[in-house]
Protein backbone atom coordinates (compact mmCIF):
# COMPACT_ATOMS: atom_id res chain seq x y z
CA UNK A 1 0.00 0.00 0.00
CA UNK A 2 1.00 3.57 -0.46
CA UNK A 3 0.83 3.94 3.33
CA UNK A 4 4.15 2.16 3.53
CA UNK A 5 6.04 4.93 1.82
CA UNK A 6 4.62 8.03 3.37
CA UNK A 7 1.75 8.94 5.60
CA UNK A 8 -0.60 10.53 3.18
CA UNK A 9 -4.24 10.50 2.38
CA UNK A 10 -5.50 8.00 -0.14
CA UNK A 11 -5.90 9.42 -3.63
CA UNK A 12 -9.70 9.96 -3.50
CA UNK A 13 -9.31 11.75 -0.19
CA UNK A 14 -6.48 13.84 -1.60
CA UNK A 15 -8.66 14.82 -4.53
CA UNK A 16 -11.53 15.79 -2.25
CA UNK A 17 -9.17 17.71 -0.01
CA UNK A 18 -7.87 19.69 -2.98
CA UNK A 19 -11.44 20.51 -3.96
CA UNK A 20 -12.23 21.54 -0.39
CA UNK A 21 -9.22 23.81 -0.21
CA UNK A 22 -10.15 25.31 -3.55
CA UNK A 23 -13.65 25.96 -2.31
CA UNK A 24 -12.41 27.50 0.93
CA UNK A 25 -9.89 29.71 -0.83
CA UNK A 26 -12.40 31.10 -3.31
CA UNK A 27 -15.58 31.16 -1.26
CA UNK A 28 -15.26 34.86 -0.59
CA UNK A 29 -15.31 35.61 -4.30
CA UNK A 30 -18.83 34.24 -4.47
CA UNK A 31 -20.25 35.53 -1.23
CA UNK A 32 -17.97 38.24 0.05
CA UNK A 33 -17.54 36.38 3.35
CA UNK A 34 -13.95 35.66 4.19
CA UNK A 35 -14.26 33.40 7.25
CA UNK A 36 -12.61 30.39 5.63
CA UNK A 37 -9.43 32.26 4.80
CA UNK A 38 -9.37 34.55 7.83
CA UNK A 39 -9.80 31.82 10.44
CA UNK A 40 -7.44 29.36 8.76
CA UNK A 41 -4.56 30.00 11.15
CA UNK A 42 -6.55 30.49 14.33
CA UNK A 43 -7.37 28.12 17.17
CA UNK A 44 -10.89 27.57 15.89
CA UNK A 45 -10.51 27.33 12.17
CA UNK A 46 -13.72 26.89 10.28
CA UNK A 47 -13.34 23.90 8.05
CA UNK A 48 -15.46 22.74 5.19
CA UNK A 49 -16.97 19.82 7.03
CA UNK A 50 -18.39 22.01 9.83
CA UNK A 51 -19.65 24.60 7.36
CA UNK A 52 -21.24 21.90 5.23
CA UNK A 53 -23.13 20.26 8.07
CA UNK A 54 -24.33 23.54 9.53
CA UNK A 55 -25.14 25.51 6.41
CA UNK A 56 -26.16 22.88 3.89
CA UNK A 57 -27.40 19.99 6.02
CA UNK A 58 -28.83 22.41 8.67
CA UNK A 59 -27.50 20.43 11.61
CA UNK A 60 -26.95 22.86 14.50
CA UNK A 61 -27.95 25.53 12.03
CA UNK A 62 -28.87 28.06 14.73
CA UNK A 63 -25.28 28.25 15.95
CA UNK A 64 -23.49 31.26 14.53
CA UNK A 65 -20.11 29.69 15.22
CA UNK A 66 -18.47 26.58 13.82
CA UNK A 67 -19.40 23.37 15.58
CA UNK A 68 -18.42 19.82 14.85
CA UNK A 69 -21.15 17.64 13.32
CA UNK A 70 -21.00 15.30 16.32
CA UNK A 71 -21.80 18.02 18.89
CA UNK A 72 -25.23 19.19 19.85
CA UNK A 73 -26.04 22.85 20.35
CA UNK A 74 -29.33 23.91 21.87
CA UNK A 75 -30.39 27.45 22.61
CA UNK A 76 -27.86 29.07 20.31
CA UNK A 77 -29.99 32.22 20.36
CA UNK A 78 -29.26 32.66 24.06
CA UNK A 79 -25.59 31.84 23.75
CA UNK A 80 -23.13 34.69 23.46
CA UNK A 81 -19.54 33.89 22.63
CA UNK A 82 -16.47 36.08 22.46
CA UNK A 83 -13.93 36.30 19.68
CA UNK A 84 -12.03 33.15 18.75
CA UNK A 85 -13.88 30.75 20.93
CA UNK A 86 -16.15 28.01 19.71
CA UNK A 87 -17.89 25.81 22.24
CA UNK A 88 -18.57 22.63 20.33
CA UNK A 89 -15.77 23.01 17.80
CA UNK A 90 -14.37 19.77 19.21
CA UNK A 91 -16.14 16.46 18.94
CA UNK A 92 -18.99 15.27 21.08
CA UNK A 93 -19.78 18.43 23.05
CA UNK A 94 -23.25 19.13 24.39
CA UNK A 95 -23.77 22.87 24.49
CA UNK A 96 -27.07 23.81 26.09
CA UNK A 97 -27.55 27.58 26.02
CA UNK A 98 -31.27 27.68 26.66
CA UNK A 99 -30.82 29.20 30.10
CA UNK A 100 -28.32 31.82 28.91
CA UNK A 101 -24.69 30.98 28.23
CA UNK A 102 -21.68 33.23 27.87
CA UNK A 103 -18.27 31.93 26.83
CA UNK A 104 -15.54 34.54 27.07
CA UNK A 105 -12.90 35.58 24.59
CA UNK A 106 -10.28 33.05 23.47
CA UNK A 107 -11.57 30.34 25.78
CA UNK A 108 -10.89 26.86 24.49
CA UNK A 109 -13.38 24.05 24.86
CA UNK A 110 -12.14 20.47 24.57
CA UNK A 111 -14.02 17.41 23.29
CA UNK A 112 -17.04 15.96 25.11
CA UNK A 113 -17.60 19.04 27.26
CA UNK A 114 -21.12 19.50 28.55
CA UNK A 115 -22.30 23.01 29.30
CA UNK A 116 -25.70 22.63 30.93
CA UNK A 117 -27.33 25.98 31.55
CA UNK A 118 -30.72 24.53 32.47
CA UNK A 119 -31.09 22.51 35.69
CA UNK A 120 -32.27 18.94 35.44
CA UNK A 121 -36.03 18.41 35.23
CA UNK A 122 -36.89 22.07 34.88
CA UNK A 123 -38.29 23.75 31.84
CA UNK A 124 -35.94 26.24 30.25
CA UNK A 125 -37.16 29.84 30.40
CA UNK A 126 -38.74 31.14 27.20
CA UNK A 127 -36.40 34.12 27.18
CA UNK A 128 -33.64 34.08 29.80
CA UNK A 129 -32.81 37.51 31.19
CA UNK A 130 -29.33 36.70 32.46
CA UNK A 131 -26.58 34.23 31.77
CA UNK A 132 -26.92 31.02 33.69
CA UNK A 133 -23.34 30.01 32.86
CA UNK A 134 -20.75 32.74 32.54
CA UNK A 135 -17.28 31.55 31.54
CA UNK A 136 -14.56 34.18 31.51
CA UNK A 137 -11.89 34.91 28.96
CA UNK A 138 -8.73 32.90 28.24
CA UNK A 139 -10.01 29.79 29.95
CA UNK A 140 -9.71 26.17 29.08
CA UNK A 141 -12.34 23.54 29.67
CA UNK A 142 -10.65 20.18 29.38
CA UNK A 143 -12.01 16.97 28.09
CA UNK A 144 -15.21 15.35 29.45
CA UNK A 145 -15.86 18.20 31.89
CA UNK A 146 -19.36 19.24 32.86
CA UNK A 147 -20.33 22.77 33.85
CA UNK A 148 -23.65 23.00 35.63
CA UNK A 149 -26.22 25.80 35.76
CA UNK A 150 -25.56 28.96 37.72
CA UNK A 151 -21.78 28.67 37.45
CA UNK A 152 -19.56 31.71 37.04
CA UNK A 153 -15.94 31.13 36.11
CA UNK A 154 -13.51 34.02 36.02
CA UNK A 155 -10.80 34.75 33.48
CA UNK A 156 -7.96 32.25 33.15
CA UNK A 157 -9.89 29.43 34.75
CA UNK A 158 -8.69 26.02 33.67
CA UNK A 159 -11.17 23.25 34.27
CA UNK A 160 -9.48 19.87 34.51
CA UNK A 161 -10.43 16.72 32.69
CA UNK A 162 -13.56 14.83 33.79
CA UNK A 163 -14.41 17.47 36.39
CA UNK A 164 -17.93 18.45 37.32
CA UNK A 165 -18.26 22.14 38.09
CA UNK A 166 -21.34 22.97 40.14
CA UNK A 167 -19.97 25.93 42.10
CA UNK A 168 -18.74 29.30 40.94
CA UNK A 169 -15.10 30.35 40.89
CA UNK A 170 -15.54 33.99 39.93
CA UNK A 171 -12.03 35.15 40.93
CA UNK A 172 -10.37 33.24 38.09
CA UNK A 173 -6.62 32.56 37.72
CA UNK A 174 -6.93 29.01 38.97
CA UNK A 175 -6.92 25.39 37.91
CA UNK A 176 -9.98 23.55 39.13
CA UNK A 177 -10.52 19.82 38.89
CA UNK A 178 -12.33 16.91 40.42
CA UNK A 179 -15.87 15.89 41.11
CA UNK A 180 -17.05 18.23 42.59
CA UNK A 181 -14.48 20.67 41.26
CA UNK A 182 -12.06 22.25 43.70
CA UNK A 183 -9.18 24.64 43.24
CA UNK A 184 -6.02 22.61 42.89
CA UNK A 185 -3.65 25.32 41.76
CA UNK A 186 -3.54 29.10 41.61
CA UNK A 187 -2.05 30.88 38.64
CA UNK A 188 0.03 34.00 38.89
CA UNK A 189 -2.08 36.81 37.35
CA UNK A 190 1.07 38.71 36.39
CA UNK A 191 2.29 35.80 34.25
CA UNK A 192 -0.96 35.37 32.38
CA UNK A 193 -0.96 37.07 29.05
CA UNK A 194 -4.08 38.74 27.63
CA UNK A 195 -3.28 38.40 23.99
CA UNK A 196 -5.53 39.64 21.23
CA UNK A 197 -5.73 38.65 17.62
CA UNK A 198 -6.10 41.46 15.12
CA UNK A 199 -9.14 40.88 12.97
CA UNK A 200 -10.57 38.18 15.22
CA UNK A 201 -13.73 36.35 14.33
CA UNK A 202 -16.76 35.58 16.47
CA UNK A 203 -17.73 32.30 14.90
CA UNK A 204 -18.51 33.02 11.28
CA UNK A 205 -18.71 36.80 11.84
CA UNK A 206 -15.86 39.30 11.97
CA UNK A 207 -15.60 41.05 15.32
CA UNK A 208 -16.09 44.40 13.60
CA UNK A 209 -19.44 43.29 12.19
CA UNK A 210 -20.75 41.73 15.39
CA UNK A 211 -23.72 44.11 15.52
CA UNK A 212 -25.29 42.26 12.60
CA UNK A 213 -25.95 39.29 14.87
CA UNK A 214 -28.07 41.30 17.33
CA UNK A 215 -31.65 40.12 17.12
CA UNK A 216 -30.95 37.94 14.11
CA UNK A 217 -28.87 35.19 15.70
CA UNK A 218 -28.54 36.35 19.32
CA UNK A 219 -31.24 37.49 21.69
CA UNK A 220 -30.99 41.34 21.83
CA UNK A 221 -31.13 41.59 25.61
CA UNK A 222 -28.27 39.14 26.18
CA UNK A 223 -26.35 40.64 23.28
CA UNK A 224 -26.47 44.10 24.89
CA UNK A 225 -25.22 42.72 28.19
CA UNK A 226 -21.96 41.65 26.56
CA UNK A 227 -21.45 43.77 23.50
CA UNK A 228 -23.31 46.90 24.62
CA UNK A 229 -20.89 47.41 27.48
CA UNK A 230 -17.77 47.36 25.34
CA UNK B 1 -11.08 -7.74 13.50
CA UNK B 2 -12.22 -6.34 10.21
CA UNK B 3 -12.67 -2.67 9.62
CA UNK B 4 -16.31 -1.58 9.07
CA UNK B 5 -16.92 -0.23 5.58
CA UNK B 6 -18.23 3.06 6.93
CA UNK B 7 -14.93 3.68 8.67
CA UNK B 8 -13.01 2.80 5.51
CA UNK B 9 -15.25 5.10 3.48
CA UNK B 10 -14.82 8.01 5.87
CA UNK B 11 -11.05 7.64 6.12
CA UNK B 12 -10.07 6.63 2.62
CA UNK B 13 -12.71 8.27 0.44
CA UNK B 14 -13.86 11.31 2.39
CA UNK B 15 -10.60 11.80 4.23
CA UNK B 16 -12.11 12.24 7.70
CA UNK B 17 -9.28 11.29 10.08
CA UNK B 18 -7.58 10.11 6.93
CA UNK B 19 -4.12 10.92 8.25
CA UNK B 20 -4.31 8.10 10.79
CA UNK B 21 -2.63 4.86 9.81
CA UNK B 22 -5.14 2.89 11.83
CA UNK B 23 -8.96 2.71 11.67
CA UNK B 24 -10.58 5.64 13.39
CA UNK B 25 -14.18 6.74 13.78
CA UNK B 26 -15.18 9.96 11.96
CA UNK B 27 -16.49 11.37 15.26
CA UNK B 28 -13.11 11.05 16.92
CA UNK B 29 -10.55 13.79 16.90
CA UNK B 30 -6.87 13.36 16.13
CA UNK B 31 -3.82 15.58 16.26
CA UNK B 32 -0.42 14.70 14.85
CA UNK B 33 -0.90 11.08 13.75
CA UNK B 34 2.78 10.77 12.92
CA UNK B 35 3.67 11.08 16.60
CA UNK B 36 1.77 7.92 17.52
CA UNK B 37 3.62 4.60 17.71
CA UNK B 38 0.96 1.95 17.54
CA UNK B 39 1.14 -1.71 18.50
CA UNK B 40 -0.79 -4.59 16.99
CA UNK B 41 -4.54 -4.84 17.37
CA UNK B 42 -5.00 -1.55 19.16
CA UNK B 43 -7.00 1.16 17.48
CA UNK B 44 -7.33 4.32 19.54
CA UNK B 45 -10.36 6.27 18.43
CA UNK B 46 -12.20 3.46 16.69
CA UNK B 47 -14.99 4.22 19.13
CA UNK B 48 -16.71 7.59 18.63
CA UNK B 49 -15.84 10.79 20.47
CA UNK B 50 -12.31 9.88 21.39
CA UNK B 51 -9.57 12.46 21.33
CA UNK B 52 -6.07 11.34 20.45
CA UNK B 53 -3.87 14.35 20.95
CA UNK B 54 -0.35 13.21 20.14
CA UNK B 55 1.27 16.62 20.41
CA UNK B 56 4.11 15.23 22.56
CA UNK B 57 3.98 11.63 21.38
CA UNK B 58 1.96 8.58 22.32
CA UNK B 59 3.23 5.01 22.41
CA UNK B 60 0.51 2.37 22.48
CA UNK B 61 1.28 -1.28 22.98
CA UNK B 62 -0.32 -4.42 21.55
CA UNK B 63 -3.94 -5.33 22.13
CA UNK B 64 -4.94 -2.15 23.94
CA UNK B 65 -8.71 -1.81 24.13
CA UNK B 66 -9.82 1.80 24.08
CA UNK B 67 -13.48 2.56 24.55
CA UNK B 68 -15.53 5.59 23.58
CA UNK B 69 -15.06 9.17 24.83
CA UNK B 70 -11.52 8.36 25.88
CA UNK B 71 -8.95 11.12 25.75
CA UNK B 72 -5.28 10.35 25.23
CA UNK B 73 -3.81 13.76 25.89
CA UNK B 74 -0.06 13.99 25.52
CA UNK B 75 0.55 17.74 25.51
CA UNK B 76 -0.38 20.15 28.27
CA UNK B 77 -1.40 23.69 27.45
CA UNK B 78 0.70 26.36 29.07
CA UNK B 79 -1.82 27.79 31.58
CA UNK B 80 -0.54 31.31 31.18
CA UNK B 81 -0.69 31.26 27.40
CA UNK B 82 -3.09 28.61 26.23
CA UNK B 83 -2.03 28.59 22.62
CA UNK B 84 1.39 27.23 23.51
CA UNK B 85 2.22 23.80 24.84
CA UNK B 86 4.47 22.56 27.61
CA UNK B 87 7.12 20.07 26.54
CA UNK B 88 6.74 16.69 28.18
CA UNK B 89 7.79 13.08 27.84
CA UNK B 90 5.62 10.87 25.66
CA UNK B 91 2.66 9.01 27.01
CA UNK B 92 3.11 5.25 27.13
CA UNK B 93 0.27 2.75 27.32
CA UNK B 94 1.43 -0.79 27.84
CA UNK B 95 0.34 -3.98 26.14
CA UNK B 96 -3.19 -5.29 26.76
CA UNK B 97 -4.37 -2.30 28.77
CA UNK B 98 -8.11 -1.75 28.89
CA UNK B 99 -9.28 1.84 28.96
CA UNK B 100 -12.97 2.10 29.63
CA UNK B 101 -15.46 4.76 28.62
CA UNK B 102 -14.89 8.39 29.39
CA UNK B 103 -11.36 8.06 30.73
CA UNK B 104 -8.73 10.69 30.22
CA UNK B 105 -5.02 9.90 30.26
CA UNK B 106 -2.95 12.99 30.94
CA UNK B 107 0.49 13.92 29.59
CA UNK B 108 3.61 12.04 30.57
CA UNK B 109 1.75 9.10 32.04
CA UNK B 110 3.09 5.59 31.65
CA UNK B 111 0.77 2.66 32.17
CA UNK B 112 2.27 -0.79 32.68
CA UNK B 113 1.02 -3.87 30.90
CA UNK B 114 -2.45 -5.31 31.47
CA UNK B 115 -3.72 -2.30 33.44
CA UNK B 116 -7.44 -1.58 33.54
CA UNK B 117 -8.63 2.02 33.83
CA UNK B 118 -12.28 2.06 34.86
CA UNK B 119 -15.01 4.34 33.60
CA UNK B 120 -14.57 8.07 33.89
CA UNK B 121 -11.16 7.95 35.55
CA UNK B 122 -8.46 10.53 35.04
CA UNK B 123 -4.97 9.07 35.06
CA UNK B 124 -2.65 11.81 36.24
CA UNK B 125 0.29 9.74 37.47
CA UNK B 126 2.19 6.81 36.04
CA UNK B 127 1.29 3.31 37.10
CA UNK B 128 4.28 1.02 36.67
CA UNK B 129 2.75 -1.99 38.40
CA UNK B 130 1.42 -4.49 35.82
CA UNK B 131 -2.14 -5.78 36.11
CA UNK B 132 -3.38 -2.91 38.24
CA UNK B 133 -6.91 -1.59 38.28
CA UNK B 134 -7.09 2.21 38.34
CA UNK B 135 -10.15 4.13 39.41
CA UNK B 136 -11.16 7.65 40.26
CA UNK B 137 -10.44 11.26 39.55
CA UNK B 138 -7.44 11.42 40.01
CA UNK B 139 -6.94 7.71 39.47
CA UNK B 140 -5.61 5.49 42.23
CA UNK B 141 -4.68 1.85 42.12
CA UNK B 142 -7.51 -0.03 43.80
CA UNK B 143 -6.59 -3.60 43.05
CA UNK B 144 -5.04 -6.23 40.86
CA UNK B 145 -6.53 -8.58 38.35
CA UNK B 146 -5.36 -11.67 36.53
CA UNK B 147 -7.73 -11.60 33.60
CA UNK B 148 -6.18 -13.53 30.70
CA UNK B 149 -5.35 -11.42 27.68
CA UNK B 150 -6.17 -12.73 24.22
CA UNK B 151 -3.18 -13.89 22.26
CA UNK B 152 -2.07 -11.72 19.40
CA UNK B 153 -0.68 -13.27 16.27
CA UNK B 154 2.83 -12.07 15.47
CA UNK B 155 1.73 -11.15 11.95
CA UNK B 156 -1.26 -9.06 13.07
CA UNK B 157 -1.15 -5.64 11.42
CA UNK B 158 -0.44 -2.36 13.17
CA UNK B 159 -3.61 -0.57 12.15
CA UNK B 160 -3.54 -0.63 8.38
CA UNK B 161 0.17 -1.34 8.19
CA UNK B 162 1.22 -4.97 7.85
CA UNK B 163 3.53 -6.29 10.56
CA UNK B 164 6.42 -7.03 8.20
CA UNK B 165 6.33 -3.44 6.90
CA UNK B 166 5.89 -1.68 10.20
CA UNK B 167 9.53 -1.22 11.17
CA UNK B 168 10.20 0.41 7.82
CA UNK B 169 7.02 2.45 8.06
CA UNK B 170 7.87 3.73 11.54
CA UNK B 171 11.41 4.61 10.57
CA UNK B 172 10.31 6.57 7.54
CA UNK B 173 7.17 8.28 8.73
CA UNK B 174 7.03 8.73 12.48
CA UNK B 175 8.54 11.68 14.27
CA UNK B 176 11.19 9.90 16.31
CA UNK B 177 12.07 12.89 18.44
CA UNK B 178 8.64 12.74 20.08
CA UNK B 179 8.75 9.04 20.88
CA UNK B 180 11.40 8.98 23.61
CA UNK B 181 13.41 5.78 23.92
CA UNK B 182 11.17 4.10 21.35
CA UNK B 183 12.08 6.75 18.84
CA UNK B 184 15.76 6.23 19.51
CA UNK B 185 15.30 2.49 19.01
CA UNK B 186 13.56 3.08 15.70
CA UNK B 187 16.22 5.47 14.52
CA UNK B 188 19.01 3.12 15.62
CA UNK B 189 17.50 0.18 13.73
CA UNK B 190 17.36 2.18 10.55
CA UNK B 191 20.61 0.96 8.96
CA UNK B 192 19.20 -1.86 6.90
CA UNK B 193 16.14 -2.16 4.66
Residue B14: pLDDT band by 50, 70, 90 thresholds? very high
pLDDT digits (tens, 9 = 90+) for B76-122: 888 888 888 999 999 999 999 999 999 999 999 999 999 999 999 99
User: Cα separation of A61 and A161, whole Å?
Assistant: 28
User: Cα separation of B55 and B33, whole Å?
Assistant: 9
Cα distance from B3 to chain A (closest Cα, Å)? 16
pLDDT digits (tens, 9 = 90+) for A46-84: 999 999 999 999 999 999 999 999 999 999 999 999 999
> Taking the CB of residue B176, how many other CB atoms lie within 10 A of it?
19
Closest partner CB to A70 (pick from B18, B49, B79): B49
CA B150 to chain centre: 18
pLDDT attached to residue A2: 45
**Inter-chain contacts counted by CB atoms under 8 A, chains A and B:** 124
Closest partner CB to A4 (pick from B14, B120, B161): B161
A171-180: long-range contacts at Cβ-Cβ below 8 A with a sequence spacing of 24 or more? A172/A136, A172/A139, A175/B79, A177/B122, A177/B137, A177/B138, A178/B137, A178/B138, A179/B137
pLDDT attached to residue B82: 86
Residue A3: pLDDT band by 50, 70, 90 thresholds? low
> B36 has which bridge partners?
B58
State whether residue A178 sits within 8 Å of chain B by CB: yes
Residue B192: pLDDT band by 50, 70, 90 thresholds? very low
User: Cα separation of A50 and B27, whole Å?
Assistant: 12
State whether residue A3 sits within 8 Å of chain B by CB: yes
pLDDT digits (tens, 9 = 90+) for A27-48: 999 999 999 999 999 989 999 9
CB spacing of A13 vs B81 below 8 angstroms:
no
User: Cα separation of A186 and A172, whole Å?
Assistant: 9
CB spacing of B77 vs A108 below 8 angstroms:
yes
Output the pTM of the full model. Answer: 0.92
Mean pLDDT of A196-207: 94
CB spacing of A144 vs B104 below 8 angstroms:
yes
pLDDT digits (tens, 9 = 90+) for A131-154: 999 999 999 999 999 999 999 999
Parallel/antiparallel/unpaired status of strands A79-81 and A101-103: parallel
pLDDT attached to residue B193: 43
DSSP state of B12: I
Mean pLDDT (chain A) is 93
Sign of the Cα pseudo-torsion (A62, A163, A102, A125, in order): positive
Q: Which residues of B touch A178 (CB under 8 A)?
A: 137-138
User: Cα separation of B143 and B131, whole Å?
Assistant: 9
> A177 has which bridge partners?
A182
pLDDT attached to residue A4: 53
Q: Determine contact, residues A184/A201, Cβ cutoff 8 Å.
A: no
Task: Tell me the ipTM for this assembly.
Answer: 0.90
Cα distance from B48 to chain A (closest Cα, Å)? 8
Residue of A nearest to B51 (CA): A111
Q: Which residues of A touch B160 (CB under 8 A)?
A: 1, 3
pLDDT attached to residue A5: 60
Amino acid sequence: MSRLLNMQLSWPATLLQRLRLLFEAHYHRLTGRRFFVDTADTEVRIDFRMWFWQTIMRRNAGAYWAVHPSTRVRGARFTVIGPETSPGWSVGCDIDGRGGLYVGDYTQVAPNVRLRSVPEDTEPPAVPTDFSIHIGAYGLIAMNATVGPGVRLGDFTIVGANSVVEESFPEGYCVIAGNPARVIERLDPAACERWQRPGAYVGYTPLAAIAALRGRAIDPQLFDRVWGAR
Amino acid sequence: MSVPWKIRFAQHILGVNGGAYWPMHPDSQLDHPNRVLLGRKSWPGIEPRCYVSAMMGIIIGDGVRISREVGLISGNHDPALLTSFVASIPQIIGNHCIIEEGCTILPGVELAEHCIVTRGSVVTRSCLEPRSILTGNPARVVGRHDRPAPAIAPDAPHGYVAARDFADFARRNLRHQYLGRFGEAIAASGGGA
